Amino acid sequence: MDELRDLYQEVILDHNRRPKNFHKIEDATHSAVGHNPLCGDQLTVYLKVDDDDTILDIGFQGSGCAISKASASIMTGTLKGKRLEEARQLFGKFHSMLTGMGGPGHVIDGKLAVFQGVAEFPARVKCASLAWHTVIAAMDAQEDPISTE
């Protein structure tokens, strides 16, 4: 188990050093800014979504701790090509895993599983979920336009 944990940590550190999709999307259809004041993580997420609700492109910029950056990197890789509805469902599963609500048998596919250990550190849950909360905020803003008035 320790060996597995070390491996997962290595994946996180690697994504932190060389984040994927770490760029602004100039012709984004959706974007939002997310802030985690507990840790100082701040991210902007950009989405380019087509008429069929498919995420054609996704990127992020910002600064934060290794967990927040690695989570954004892995999330963008996971969500590219998915539909908005699938993205919401995945966030539900991911959040359940982070908060330990999925139960001991809860399994999540692919690279997102590297964050399983975060459930043991409640203060880090917000770091790992920041990018996801930001993506959902970006989607919601588009579906239900926000007003500054």
Interface ranges with Zn ion (CB under 5 A): 39, 41, 65, 68, 127
Strand partners, 34: 43
Write down the least CB distance from residue 38 to Zn ion, Å: 7
The C-alpha atoms of residue 12 and residue 67 are separated, in whole angstroms, by 7
Give least dist CB 126 to Zn ion, A: 7
CB 62 to Zn ion: min, Å:
11
The closest alpha carbon to 131, from 60, 39, 56, 47, belongs to 60
Does an H or E element contain 78, and which? Answer: helix 66-79
55 vs 74, beta carbon nearer Zn ion = 74
Residue with tokens 């590297």: 114
CA 120 to chain CA centroid, Å, is 19
Nearer to Zn ion, 57 or 60 (CB): 60
Shortest separation between residue 10's beta carbon and Zn ion, angstroms = 18
Q: Name the residue nearer to Zn ion (CB basis): 67 or 87.
A: 67
Of the pair 22, 56, the CB lying nearest Zn ion is at: 22
- Give the type of residue at 127: C
Query: Residue 91 gets which letter from DSSP?
Result: H
